[in-house]
Amino acid sequence: MNSQKSFIPEIFKNVPLTKKEVVQIQGVFEKLTLKKGVTLLNVGELVEYQYYIQSGCLRTYFVEDSGKEHTVQFAIRDWWISDYTAFFSSSKAIMTIECLQDATIYKVSREDMENLYLEIPQLETFFRKKLEGAFSSFQKRILGSLSQTAKDRYTSFIATYPNIEMSVKNYHIASYLGITTESLSRIRREIAQN
């Protein structure tokens, strides 16, 4: 039945794993295919899973009382996504995860991962390092929001994430940068002119 190559070595690149370990890890992952527009996680739901993106594009966003949306994270090929604040504390989602482009993803529960860490410590190291990278990115984003104009933040965004820019709407980018779609439009015009 299972003639296709395992996706596990692809996810855990550079992590040395025995065949037995690959099978064991594979057992706790579940494949999902998502259509554009689908909601993967709703506000108020218990967040038990995080998701590895094999293809497609998703975003996590927060909705204010006023109805305004704020994109916290985009994810494309080889990224992970969840409402991490809720995931880490096994609590209820305050954010929504939406599929922006048809996607193939793998889900895994926090509980299963924590159990695997005990048996395969290099998995914990793998995720710790991912987390260190994400921490640095967030810090950079905070610094940007403190020190850069909207135009500079947009320019950095498209330079840093050209693949994301391609697959999302401008108003998604605006809600990630913390500006209105109208302001982004003006910024784009300004950039196009000069």
Residue numbers at the binding site for its own copies (CB under 8 A): 62, 64, 68, 70, 72, 84-85, 88-89, 117, 121, 124-125, 127-128, 131-136, 138-143, 145-147, 175, 178
**134 Cβ contact list (under 8 Å, min separation 6):** none
184 binding DNA? (CB under 7 A): yes
82: partner contacted, choices its own copies, DNA, none (Cβ within 5-8 A by kind): none
Closest CB to DNA among 140 and 186? 186
From 93, 116, 164, 179, residue interacting with DNA (rule: CB under 7 A): 179
Closest CB to DNA among 27 and 37? 37
188: partner contacted, choices DNA, its own copies, none (Cβ within 5-8 A by kind): DNA
| Residues pairing with 108 in the sheet | 50
158 binding DNA? (CB under 7 A): no
84: partner contacted, choices its own copies, DNA, none (Cβ within 5-8 A by kind): its own copies
189 binding DNA? (CB under 7 A): yes
189: partner contacted, choices DNA, its own copies, none (Cβ within 5-8 A by kind): DNA
146: partner contacted, choices its own copies, DNA, none (Cβ within 5-8 A by kind): its own copies
Contact between 170 and 184 (Cβ < 8 Å): yes
User: Within 10 Å of residue 104's Cβ, how many Cβ atoms?
Assistant: 15
3-state secondary structure 105-121: EEEEEHHHHHHHHHHCH
Per-residue exposure over 59-96, b if at least 16 CB sit within 10 Å of its own CB, e if not: bbbbeeeeeebebbbbbbeebbbbbbebbeeeeebebb
186 binding DNA? (CB under 7 A): yes
Closest CB to DNA among 34 and 120? 34
Question: Considering only residues 96-155, where is the footprint of DNA by CB under 7 A?
Answer: 149-151
167 binding DNA? (CB under 7 A): no
